Structure 1
Amino acid sequence: MASTADFKNGLCLEMNNDIWSIVEFQHVKPGKGAAFVRTKLKSLKTGKTLDKTFNAGEKVTTARVEKRPHQFIYKDDMGYNFMDSNSFEQLLIQESLIERPELLKEGQLVDILVHDETETPLAVELPPFVELMITYTEPGIKGDTATNTLKPATLETGATVMVPLFVDQDTMIKVDTRDGSYSERVK
């Protein structure tokens, strides 16, 4: 059990037969009336988001969730296969538990959130940025870099990302896994 004073981003709560992670929260103390905490929660089972308001000091049930390091091995018809970095056991994960599966590359290190009591995987967290090679993009025209125009580029994983005109084929780029956007070229 915890109270609203213990809220922080990433804290997991048990509510309505589901496990919710706090995405963001804000403590509000209006000039008149009691204080409250406005939160944005994300379901770790379904991926839905929910806006919920708690009274200040309200007790909530926290879920014990563990982050375990895994390495992505391969994808097959059954799902995505990961290997535990400590015990070398393999784990099969469904695509619905992965935020951006198109950015997974073989050998990629990820964290898998596991419910401590039931040992069930809840979600796969990719690192904030991944480095991927561009396999195809239209060539840029020399001197055409003054504007912020973007063009599509296909990555080695098959994902398509919008990149600036000066980025060429066979270039390593950094991709933000939170929104799937181009970040920078890798030197």
Structure 2
Amino acid sequence: MKINAGEIRVGMLIEYKNDLWQVLKTQHVKPGKGGAFAQVEMKSVNKNTKLNERFRSSENVEKASLDETNFNYLYDDEQNYFFMDPKTFEQTEIKKEIIGEKGKLLTENLEVTVSFYNEKPISVELPNQVTCKIKNTDAALKGQTVSSSYKPAVLENGLSVQVPPFIEAGDNIIVDTRNLEYVKKI
């Protein structure tokens, strides 16, 4: 689908120079002399390289069309995570590099959205919030106020997050999957 260069937004996937690119940053510039343009920083989905490109506002770029499907997480091995389509019970495997650090937040039967490009999985979208259990945490220092201080805590899945001083080992908390931050205690 063709879009105008002025419509490029962060997070968008575009087809450019025979590759698939994810937009990291975009800045629309209207200089005093000459035409307006969009300065776009992109990362290649396949090659993991970055590119800074300048598109004139009159230019058109090809927005990638993705197929999104809901899957349930099943299990993982050394290289892959395995998911199942709840409607067809068809299984698919996705390489651990695609999901990255957020793969540690996957729990059995967690529903995720997988984006496919040309029938190849390119990204996995987790729910915005997941429940995790605190494995261990440092002791709170006396005299610290709750609003200004956080302490490090390690979750049972191995991830480290900053939590308020009243959180103890064994507590269940909600973590935001987009930025891996503490939301609230359950």
Normalising by structure 2, what TM-score? 0.83
Q: What are the superposed Cα offsets for residues 37-67 of structure 1, whole Å, 9 maximum, x if unpaired?
A: 1223233334554332211121222221122
The residue aligned with 1:186 is 185
Counterpart contact for 1:145–1:166, Cα < 8 Å: no
Q: What are the superposed Cα offsets for residues 107-145 of structure 1, whole Å, 9 maximum, x if unpaired?
A: 222111101xx2011111223332212122234467644
* Residue 106 (str. 1) matches residue 108 (str. 2): yes
Instruction: Tell me how large the CA RMSD over aligned residues is.
Output: 2.4
The residue aligned with 2:9 is 8
2:9 partner SS: coil
* Residue 52 (str. 1) matches residue 39 (str. 2): no
* Residue 37 (str. 1) matches residue 38 (str. 2): yes
Counterpart contact for 1:152–1:163, Cα < 8 Å: yes
Matches of 1:148 and 1:159, distance apart in 2: 22
Deviation at 1:34, TM superposition (A): 1.0
Q: State how many pairs are aligned.
A: 184
2:63 partner SS: coil
The residue aligned with 2:74 is 73
The residue aligned with 1:150 is 150
Equivalent position amino acid for 1:112 in 2:
V
The residue aligned with 2:27 is 26
Q: Percent identity?
A: 35
Deviation at 1:81, TM superposition (A): 0.8
Q: Unmatched 5+ residue regions in structure 2?
A: none
Q: 1:105 to 1:143 in 2, by over 3 A?
A: farther
